[in-house]
Amino acid sequence: MKVTIVGAGNVGASCAEYIAQKRIASEVVLLDIKKGIAEGKALDLTQTATTLGFNTTIKGVTNDYSLTSGSDVVVITSGVPRKPGMTREELIDINAGIVQEVSSSILEYSPDTIIVVVSNPMDTMTYLALQSSGLSKNRIIGMGGALDSSRFKSYLSIALNKPANDIQGMVIGGHGDTTMIPLTRLASYNGAPVSQYLDEKTLDKVAADTMIGGATLTKLLGTSAWYAPGASVSYLVDSILNNHKRMIPCSVLLEGEYGLKDICIGVPCIIGSKGVESIVDIKLNEKEKQQMIESANKVTAMNTTLKGIL
């Protein structure tokens, strides 16, 4: 199985590293517009194969899409990341052109591929990739909810003082500081509702920390994070290539699900070899439904801004 990652920056390279280490694909191609960066990172990663024990081949290329030919999955991480104090939405001007151009180049060489969009503002970039490519909606998947959910579970495990892998939880809605919806009501410690162990104030703090999880890291690192984003992309790619049919919150086109239409936004999806195999309808309470409407309104406003740019 072949995976191409466009954008060999922090997130792209980290994603390639996890895909190889976890033996998710037999071949990874890293492509970047900056001369030498993809080749350099691919070579460096290749030289970890014997110590880490994987056989995935990793090739790097500067803007030559012919090498990406026949990719089963393409991950788009090209574009600019945010700097401290910036919102993801402020990246729209630069990243829209990049995502549009990259998706059309990719499809020239891999017409049957599944595209995973990572570049921010991710929900709007997913919508753009879908509209501009004309691909069927199951083949364009925005990655944000997988990352936000892993941050949510991580903050819950700290608050509970329990192992992170004993925690279940999900974040839906937009992938933005004010649009994501950590579903604290449904989070559990091995099936027991976390509300049995954490009071409302603590749960509210976990949700708030999750929502600004990316911004907290951007402030510390001076640029946006890459380990958890790269790992989350690899988790999603694994579910596609190995047909795991995991339930993962992803940004996908809604056509009436959750009462929403003509929008890509995070909802729980079954992810398998066809990409988005189905959307899972979880019963939201009135407060969560209202949060979803508010989140969707903000994502739609961003999509409207996009239409003004293109």
**Partner residues linked to 141 by β-bridges:** 116
By CB under 6 A, tell whether 58 contacts ligand NAD.
Answer: no
By CB under 6 A, tell whether 82 contacts ligand NAD.
Answer: yes
Q: Say how far apart CA 299 and CA 307 lie, in whole Å.
A: 13
Using only C-alpha atoms, the chain has a radius of gyration, in whole angstroms, of 18
Strand bridging mode 246-255 / 167-168:
unpaired
Q: Which of 143, 175, 183, 236 is catalytic?
A: 175
- Site size toward ligand NAD (CB under 6 A) is 35
175 belongs to the catalytic site: yes
CB atoms < 10 A from the CB of 283, how many? Answer: 7
Q: Say how far apart CA 234 and CA 109 lie, in whole Å.
A: 22
By CB under 6 A, tell whether 77 contacts ligand NAD.
Answer: yes
By CB under 6 A, tell whether 10 contacts ligand NAD.
Answer: yes
Q: Where are the beta strands (DSSP E) in 197-295?
A: 246-255, 261-272, 275-279
Based on CB atoms, which residue is closest to ligand NAD, 3 or 6?
A: 6
By CB under 6 A, tell whether 179 contacts ligand NAD.
Answer: no
By CB under 6 A, tell whether 266 contacts ligand NAD.
Answer: no
H or E stretch covering 101: helix 92-109
- Are the beta carbons of 152 and 182 closer than 8 angstroms? yes
Exactly one of 75, 98, 241, 276 binds ligand NAD (CB under 6 A); that residue is 98
DSSP letters, 112-177, are T-EEEE-SSSHHHHHHHHHHHH---GGGEEE-SHHHHHHHHHHHHHHHHTS-GGGEE--EEE-SST
Single out the segment in contact with ligand NAD by CB under 6 A; choices: 44-52, 96-104, 156-164, 293-301.
Answer: 96-104
Single out the segment in contact with ligand NAD by CB under 6 A; choices: 80-88, 107-115, 153-161, 291-299.
Answer: 80-88
Single out the segment in contact with ligand NAD by CB under 6 A; choices: 94-102, 151-159, 265-273, 295-303.
Answer: 94-102
Based on CB atoms, which residue is closest to ligand NAD, 79 or 249?
A: 79
Single out the segment in contact with ligand NAD by CB under 6 A; choices: 139-147, 159-167, 203-211, 241-249.
Answer: 139-147
By CB under 6 A, tell whether 149 contacts ligand NAD.
Answer: no
Based on CB atoms, which residue is closest to ligand NAD, 203 or 296?
A: 296
Q: Is 14 helix (H, G, I), strand (E, B) or coil?
A: helix
Q: Which residues lie near ligand NAD (CB under 6 A)?
A: 6-12, 31-34, 37, 77-82, 91, 95, 98, 101-102, 118-120, 122, 143-144, 147, 175, 223-224, 226, 229
- The catalytic site residues sit at 175
